[in-house]
Structure 1
Amino acid sequence: MALGGGQERHDRQPQGVEYDVRDRTAQLVVTVAVILLTAAFVFVVALLAGTAAGKLARMDGATYPTALTRAATSFAAVITLATVIATALRALL
Protein backbone atom coordinates (compact mmCIF):
# COMPACT_ATOMS: atom_id res chain seq x y z
CA MET A 1 0.00 0.00 0.00
CA ALA A 2 1.48 3.31 -1.00
CA LEU A 3 1.65 6.11 1.52
CA GLY A 4 2.41 9.75 0.87
CA GLY A 5 5.82 10.44 -0.65
CA GLY A 6 6.12 7.07 -2.40
CA GLN A 7 6.82 5.21 0.86
CA GLU A 8 5.43 1.75 1.27
CA ARG A 9 4.21 0.33 4.54
CA HIS A 10 4.95 -3.27 5.38
CA ASP A 11 2.66 -4.95 7.90
CA ARG A 12 5.10 -7.81 8.43
CA GLN A 13 8.78 -7.80 8.97
CA PRO A 14 10.92 -9.43 6.30
CA GLN A 15 11.12 -13.15 6.84
CA GLY A 16 14.58 -14.41 7.54
CA VAL A 17 15.87 -17.75 8.65
CA GLU A 18 15.03 -17.17 12.31
CA TYR A 19 11.40 -16.41 11.49
CA ASP A 20 11.12 -19.63 9.49
CA VAL A 21 12.52 -21.57 12.44
CA ARG A 22 10.03 -19.91 14.79
CA ASP A 23 7.15 -20.69 12.46
CA ARG A 24 8.19 -24.34 12.22
CA THR A 25 8.66 -24.56 15.98
CA ALA A 26 5.24 -23.06 16.62
CA GLN A 27 3.68 -25.46 14.14
CA LEU A 28 5.42 -28.41 15.81
CA VAL A 29 4.22 -27.32 19.25
CA VAL A 30 0.64 -27.04 18.04
CA THR A 31 0.86 -30.44 16.34
CA VAL A 32 2.19 -32.11 19.48
CA ALA A 33 -0.50 -30.43 21.59
CA VAL A 34 -3.25 -31.65 19.26
CA ILE A 35 -1.87 -35.20 19.29
CA LEU A 36 -1.64 -35.28 23.09
CA LEU A 37 -5.14 -33.84 23.56
CA THR A 38 -6.57 -36.33 21.07
CA ALA A 39 -4.82 -39.22 22.82
CA ALA A 40 -6.16 -38.06 26.19
CA PHE A 41 -9.68 -37.78 24.76
CA VAL A 42 -9.52 -41.27 23.25
CA PHE A 43 -8.24 -42.67 26.55
CA VAL A 44 -11.10 -41.05 28.49
CA VAL A 45 -13.67 -42.35 26.01
CA ALA A 46 -12.15 -45.83 26.26
CA LEU A 47 -12.32 -45.69 30.06
CA LEU A 48 -15.95 -44.59 29.94
CA ALA A 49 -16.83 -47.37 27.50
CA GLY A 50 -15.07 -49.95 29.66
CA THR A 51 -16.77 -48.69 32.80
CA ALA A 52 -20.17 -48.76 31.14
CA ALA A 53 -19.59 -52.28 29.82
CA GLY A 54 -18.55 -53.49 33.26
CA LYS A 55 -21.54 -51.85 34.94
CA LEU A 56 -23.96 -53.25 32.40
CA ALA A 57 -22.45 -56.72 32.82
CA ARG A 58 -22.90 -56.51 36.59
CA MET A 59 -26.49 -55.31 36.17
CA ASP A 60 -27.06 -58.29 33.90
CA GLY A 61 -25.96 -60.61 36.71
CA ALA A 62 -22.41 -61.39 35.60
CA THR A 63 -19.76 -62.21 38.18
CA TYR A 64 -17.00 -59.72 38.92
CA PRO A 65 -14.36 -61.54 36.83
CA THR A 66 -16.75 -61.73 33.88
CA ALA A 67 -17.68 -58.06 34.21
CA LEU A 68 -14.00 -57.11 34.39
CA THR A 69 -13.31 -59.18 31.27
CA ARG A 70 -16.11 -57.43 29.38
CA ALA A 71 -14.87 -54.03 30.54
CA ALA A 72 -11.32 -54.81 29.44
CA THR A 73 -12.55 -56.09 26.08
CA SER A 74 -14.55 -52.92 25.54
CA PHE A 75 -11.59 -50.71 26.52
CA ALA A 76 -9.28 -52.58 24.14
CA ALA A 77 -11.83 -52.38 21.33
CA VAL A 78 -12.09 -48.59 21.61
CA ILE A 79 -8.30 -48.18 21.64
CA THR A 80 -7.97 -50.52 18.66
CA LEU A 81 -10.68 -48.68 16.73
CA ALA A 82 -8.99 -45.34 17.39
CA THR A 83 -5.68 -46.76 16.18
CA VAL A 84 -7.25 -48.10 12.98
CA ILE A 85 -8.95 -44.78 12.26
CA ALA A 86 -5.72 -42.83 12.90
CA THR A 87 -3.79 -45.18 10.61
CA ALA A 88 -6.38 -44.83 7.85
CA LEU A 89 -6.39 -41.03 8.15
CA ARG A 90 -2.61 -40.94 8.08
CA ALA A 91 -2.62 -42.91 4.83
CA LEU A 92 -5.12 -40.48 3.30
CA LEU A 93 -3.41 -37.31 4.43
Structure 2
Amino acid sequence: MSIFVGNLSFEVVRDDLSQIFAEYGTVKRVQLPTDRETGRLRGFAFVEMETEAEETAAIEALDGAEWMGRDLKVNKARPREERSSPGGNWENRGGASRRY
Protein backbone atom coordinates (compact mmCIF):
# COMPACT_ATOMS: atom_id res chain seq x y z
CA MET A 1 0.00 0.00 0.00
CA SER A 2 1.54 3.23 -1.11
CA ILE A 3 0.44 6.78 -1.91
CA PHE A 4 2.01 8.97 -4.60
CA VAL A 5 2.33 12.64 -3.60
CA GLY A 6 3.21 14.97 -6.47
CA ASN A 7 3.83 18.67 -7.03
CA LEU A 8 5.73 19.00 -3.76
CA SER A 9 7.78 22.00 -2.80
CA PHE A 10 11.51 21.37 -3.14
CA GLU A 11 11.82 22.60 0.47
CA VAL A 12 9.79 19.72 1.94
CA VAL A 13 11.41 17.30 4.39
CA ARG A 14 10.37 13.82 5.51
CA ASP A 15 9.04 15.05 8.88
CA ASP A 16 6.74 17.59 7.14
CA LEU A 17 5.08 14.84 5.12
CA SER A 18 4.87 12.49 8.08
CA GLN A 19 3.07 15.14 10.12
CA ILE A 20 0.53 15.95 7.42
CA PHE A 21 -0.30 12.30 6.71
CA ALA A 22 -0.35 11.36 10.43
CA GLU A 23 -3.59 13.36 10.68
CA TYR A 24 -5.22 10.48 8.73
CA GLY A 25 -3.58 7.48 10.39
CA THR A 26 -0.30 5.74 11.09
CA VAL A 27 2.52 6.57 8.68
CA LYS A 28 4.76 3.55 8.13
CA ARG A 29 7.26 5.08 5.71
CA VAL A 30 7.98 8.21 3.66
CA GLN A 31 10.27 8.19 0.62
CA LEU A 32 11.53 11.43 -0.95
CA PRO A 33 13.38 10.49 -4.17
CA THR A 34 16.33 12.65 -5.18
CA ASP A 35 18.00 13.26 -8.51
CA ARG A 36 21.03 10.99 -8.93
CA GLU A 37 23.25 13.68 -10.39
CA THR A 38 22.32 16.73 -8.31
CA GLY A 39 20.99 15.17 -5.09
CA ARG A 40 18.07 17.61 -5.30
CA LEU A 41 14.53 16.49 -4.45
CA ARG A 42 12.49 15.45 -7.48
CA GLY A 43 9.22 17.09 -6.37
CA PHE A 44 7.32 13.95 -5.44
CA ALA A 45 7.18 11.37 -2.66
CA PHE A 46 5.70 8.03 -1.66
CA VAL A 47 3.92 7.57 1.65
CA GLU A 48 2.93 4.23 3.16
CA MET A 49 0.10 4.11 5.68
CA GLU A 50 -0.87 1.33 8.09
CA THR A 51 -4.24 0.49 6.48
CA GLU A 52 -6.02 0.98 3.18
CA ALA A 53 -8.76 2.96 4.97
CA GLU A 54 -6.13 5.43 6.23
CA GLU A 55 -4.70 5.71 2.72
CA THR A 56 -8.12 6.43 1.27
CA ALA A 57 -8.85 9.08 3.91
CA ALA A 58 -5.51 10.82 3.24
CA ILE A 59 -5.97 10.75 -0.54
CA GLU A 60 -9.50 12.16 -0.34
CA ALA A 61 -8.45 14.92 2.06
CA LEU A 62 -5.15 15.95 0.48
CA ASP A 63 -5.59 15.57 -3.30
CA GLY A 64 -5.79 19.11 -4.67
CA ALA A 65 -5.08 20.69 -1.27
CA GLU A 66 -2.76 23.71 -1.19
CA TRP A 67 0.32 23.02 0.93
CA MET A 68 3.60 24.94 1.06
CA GLY A 69 2.43 27.08 -1.86
CA ARG A 70 1.62 24.11 -4.14
CA ASP A 71 -1.56 22.22 -5.08
CA LEU A 72 -0.83 18.62 -4.15
CA LYS A 73 -1.50 15.66 -6.45
CA VAL A 74 -2.25 12.70 -4.20
CA ASN A 75 -3.33 9.25 -5.40
CA LYS A 76 -2.61 5.56 -5.09
CA ALA A 77 0.85 4.78 -6.36
CA ARG A 78 0.98 2.57 -9.42
CA PRO A 79 3.50 -0.24 -9.67
CA ARG A 80 6.75 0.82 -11.28
CA GLU A 81 6.87 -0.03 -14.96
CA GLU A 82 9.74 -2.14 -16.20
CA ARG A 83 12.14 -0.23 -18.39
CA SER A 84 13.59 -1.74 -21.53
CA SER A 85 17.30 -1.69 -22.09
CA PRO A 86 18.69 1.61 -23.43
CA GLY A 87 18.27 1.83 -27.18
CA GLY A 88 16.14 -1.30 -27.36
CA ASN A 89 16.84 -3.77 -30.11
CA TRP A 90 17.38 -2.95 -33.77
CA GLU A 91 13.89 -3.94 -34.95
CA ASN A 92 12.20 -1.60 -32.47
CA ARG A 93 14.22 1.46 -33.50
CA GLY A 94 12.82 1.66 -37.00
CA GLY A 95 16.20 1.09 -38.60
CA ALA A 96 16.44 -0.60 -41.95
CA SER A 97 18.08 -3.96 -42.04
CA ARG A 98 21.03 -4.36 -44.37
CA ARG A 99 21.47 -7.33 -46.61
CA TYR A 100 24.77 -8.01 -48.33
The TM-score, its normalising length taken from structure 2, stands at 0.21
**Structure with the higher helix share, 1 or 2:** 1
**Structure with the higher strand share, 1 or 2:** 2
Structure showing greater Rg = 1
